[in-house]
Structure 1
Amino acid sequence: MFSRACEYAIKIMIYIAGNEQEGRRTGVKEISEAINSPVAFTAKILQQLVKNELLVSFKGPTGGFELAGSREIKLVDIVRAIDGNKLMENCVLGLETCSGENPCPVHFKFIVIREQLNETLLATEIRDPELITKGIKPP
């Protein structure tokens, strides 16, 4: 459903949220190991999350990554930052002309699923204690 980069981005954000709760920043190598992702790929995703103001990067001996500010960061923010809005807007079959007036064979069935997914993404905050508790643990 989500791109591999988006899946990793969600894992990254949950992992960083857990470390933030413990009062510490998280480095690229640690994140990469925790989510089982190549370091270069992880770094690229982290750059996108920083660019989209979901993370803040710190350099130096106490450097690493933290969630951006105290604002709520929803799963939908992460999905939009990495995958854009195509999951919510494009045809599930990839057709150019799919719409309510000119629907693909599964258009109306997928609308219900899309609405439920969007509600879940909008309702889920990355600092949710349940996400962090059940989140990504270091290897």
Structure 2
Amino acid sequence: MFSKSCQYAIRAVLYLADKGKDGQCVGVKEIAETLEVPGPFLAKLLQQLSRNQLIGSTKGPHGGFCMTSAHLQASLIRVIECIDGPEVFSSCVLGLPACNAANPCPLHYQSLAYKQGMLKILKDKTIAEVAQQVPEIV
């Protein structure tokens, strides 16, 4: 359902929720190596999350990315919408441009219920709650 970019961003945010809380900075290299994702690509995603105030960042030799208590209280849906956009929950699962209630694709109604359920869950879950429920971030 989510792009590879979004999956990387979610994993990075959950990693930061564990390792970069309380303002403790974690470098891109450490995150990328631990999560086994491409460093330059992850850096761009983290910068986008930082610009949207979903994570904190500090420049310099001891800089990196971190999370404050305010970041941890953001809902996970904000990370998804930041990377994949809000249309991820309203677009056709088959990628058809004219799929809607008036002109449904073969999977429209089944996927609609699933997407609405996921949307509710993701709006109600904070980053901190999800991070606590993930047994192993990596």
| Same fold at TM > 0.5 | yes
Structure-2 residue corresponding to 1:112:
113
CA distance in 2, matches of 1:61, 1:38: 21
Determine the C-alpha separation between the residues in 2 that align with 1:130 and 1:94.
34
2:48 corresponding residue in structure 1:
48
Structure 1: runs of 5 or more not aligned: none
RMSD over equivalenced CA pairs, Å:
1.9
Number of paired residues?
136
Q: CA deviation at 1:47?
A: 1.2
CA distance in 2, matches of 1:126, 1:47: 18
Q: Name the structure 1 match of 2:132.
A: 130
* Percentage of identical aligned residues: 38
Q: Greater CA deviation, 17-26 or 48-57?
A: 17-26
Distance 1:67 1:61 in 2: 18
Aligned AA for 1:27?
A: G
Contact 2:16/2:66 (<8 A) preserved? yes
CA distance in 1 between counterparts of 2:137 and 2:31 reads 10
**Paired residue for 2:66?**
66
TM-score where L is the length of structure 1: 0.88
Mapped partners of 2:125, 2:136: distance in 1 = 13
> 1:83 Cα deviation (Å)?
0.3
User: Does the 8 Å CA contact 2:93/2:111 hold for their aligned counterparts?
Assistant: yes
AA paired with 1:70?
A
Provide runs of 4+ in structure 1 moved above 6 Å: none
- For structure 2, list consecutive stretches of 5 or more residues without a partner in the other structure: none
User: Structure 2 length as normaliser, TM-score?
Assistant: 0.88
Superposed CA offset, 1:100-121 (max 9, x none): 1111111111111011111121
Aligned to 1:4: 4
